[in-house]
Amino acid sequence: MSDQDKDKKTDWRDWVRESDDPARAFTKPEALDNLTVLDCSYANMAGCFATSILAEFGAEVIRIEPPDGDPVRSYSPWGFMNKGTGLGYLNEGRNKFHVTLNLQKPEGRQVFSKLAKTADIVVETFLPGVMDEWEIGYRQLSGFNPRLIYCAIYTYGQFGPMAACGKADADVVNQAYSGITSITGERPEDPEHPKPSEVPTRQGNWMGWYAGGAWASAAMLVALHHRVNSGKGQFIDVSPGEAFGRCINYGLTYYQGFKDVLPRLGNWDPGVFPYTYFRCKDGYAFLAGFSDINWEALCTILNRPDLRAQFPTIFDRLNPDNMGTMYKEIEKWTLARTYDEIYDAVMAYNKTGGKGVVVPGKVSAPIDTMKTENWWERHALQRVNDPHYGETIIANQAWKMTASPPRVKWVCRPVGADNEHIYGMKLGLGPKQLATMKENGLL
């Protein structure tokens, strides 16, 4: 690369950082601050993540919880609580107003109907037909608010043979239904007697719910654009199981073509090899060298021209029987080195301008991820002092934007903390009326 090109690169980075550094997000407008969202998600993090996205972009999100709080507030590792709120929810309460309302009672539903008259979006995660039975479903609400966008989230969706099955929605079930769990996990050494840890394996996080929430927010923003063009709202049905399932590399077409399903190969990829994690002296390192030219580069770094000669084509390297041999040989080299030594050796090769590229990476424990400066510099991780919950560490959305960036304004609120503010502002209800509502078990 010429000096001139290097200057251009530095110039580009400086320009981008100047234009999108999240440190300056608060000087810029918010993309969705013209929207009011009613979120009555119940025991479901897909709904909560969907409205977090809208709230991070500036929407006024009103979380509607039952009088004793959404049970989702109890979802927390080993039951760890911060002032009565579990950590899963504490992480997704961001920028939302928190009110209580008893939708089990007709009077509560009337209050909800009034709020929905001027709302732009409703998100709900009850079993299909529950809101409709309560007469606060899309059919009823759209009658007096045709611009309303209504998103219902449920594992089996709002129609189809399983929609009325009555099963609950849970993250692990969304993951199992998606098809992805079946191809994630270690390959049994003895297929007849797999060990308990050689079984289909879910993602460690709530990936089914997060995929569902992401798709729901995508769909709502698509519907919003249609509303700008047509003035019309609409009804949206999102299944988190399908949402995660859409992320599969190749499920259905593989079965269609070969009347077979793909095996679980642990950290090996049936379409790219080597492309995997190796043990090293002080942890685990990722290395890849799949295409002929990158395989050559990897074998050069390892000083193993014999390996290159033994497995010369991608067809040799994609044979699962050969994968084990290659893996063991490469691991001999990684096991003799620390991660940093591996990284340096690979990057030194890449800089020589030799053939191909080998891409190294570190398998990081999240506790080490949290100690890595890059993520703080980029505001991927951020410390936020919350007036109620105290000091927190949260992850920010990854979008860095020049004109209307997302941001976190507050982390969470206790159950019902915004009743006075929201009911006063939206419905003109004062302290006396709220006290009566509370006596009647509505708040």
Partner 1 sequence: MAKEDYFKWAESVLDPSMAFEKPEALADIKVVELATLILGPSLPAIMAEMGATVFKVELPGAGDTMRSLTPLARFHNEAALGWLKEARNKYHLAVDVHHEEGKKLFKELVKRSDVVVENVRAGTMDRWGLGYRQLKEINPRLIYIALSGFGQWGTFVERPSYDAIAQAESGMAWITGFPDKLPLKSGIWLADYFGALMGMVGVMAALAHRDRTGEGQFIEMSQAENMIRALDWTWLWQHYSGKGRERHGNRDVSICPSDIFPCKDNMMAIAAATEVQFRGLCTAMGKPELCEDPRFKTHAARLEEENAVVLLDVIRSWSAGKSSAEIDKLAGEYGFAAHKVCDGKDHFEDEHLIKRNFTCTVDDLVYGEIVEEGIVPKFSETPGRIKWAGRPVGFDNEYVLKRFLGLSAEQIQFLKDHNIIGKWVDNPPGRKPPASWDGKSGIKLG
Of residues 278 and 423, the one with the C-beta less far from partner 1: 278
Contacts 24+ apart (CB under 8 A), 132-137: 134/103, 134/109, 135/109, 136/103, 136/109, 136/112
* 413-439 burial code (b ≥16 CB/10 A, e <16): bebbebbeebbeebeebeeeebeebee
Nearest-approach distance from CB 367 to partner 1, in angstroms: 3
62 residue type, one letter: I
Of residues 146 and 431, the one with the C-beta less far from partner 1: 146
Nearest-approach distance from CB 154 to partner 1, in angstroms: 11
226: its two tokens: 């249609």
79 residue type, one letter: G
Nearest-approach distance from CB 403 to partner 1, in angstroms: 4
Contacts 24+ apart (CB under 8 A), 67-70: 67/100, 67/101, 67/102, 67/416, 67/441, 67/442, 67/443, 68/415, 69/100, 69/415, 70/41, 70/42, 70/43
434: its two tokens: 């709220």
Nearest-approach distance from CB 437 to partner 1, in angstroms: 24
181: its two tokens: 């769990």
Of residues 380 and 417, the one with the C-beta less far from partner 1: 380
Of residues 277 and 410, the one with the C-beta less far from partner 1: 277
419: its two tokens: 């009743």
Nearest-approach distance from CB 174 to partner 1, in angstroms: 8
44: its two tokens: 């479901």
Nearest-approach distance from CB 139 to partner 1, in angstroms: 6
> With contact defined as beta carbons under 8 Å apart, do 363 and 286 qualify?
yes
CA distance 154 to 207: 15
- Residues recorded for the chain: 443
Of residues 393 and 425, the one with the C-beta less far from partner 1: 393
Phi, psi at residue 288, to the nearest 5°?
Answer: -135, 150
Q: How far is CA 235 from CA 111, 124, 191, 195, in A?
A: 21, 12, 46, 46
Of residues 129 and 430, the one with the C-beta less far from partner 1: 129
Nearest-approach distance from CB 107 to partner 1, in angstroms: 19
Nearest-approach distance from CB 434 to partner 1, in angstroms: 27
Of residues 218 and 434, the one with the C-beta less far from partner 1: 218
CA distance 97 to 88: 17
Of residues 104 and 440, the one with the C-beta less far from partner 1: 104
Nearest-approach distance from CB 228 to partner 1, in angstroms: 5
Of residues 274 and 437, the one with the C-beta less far from partner 1: 274
CA distance 141 to 150: 9
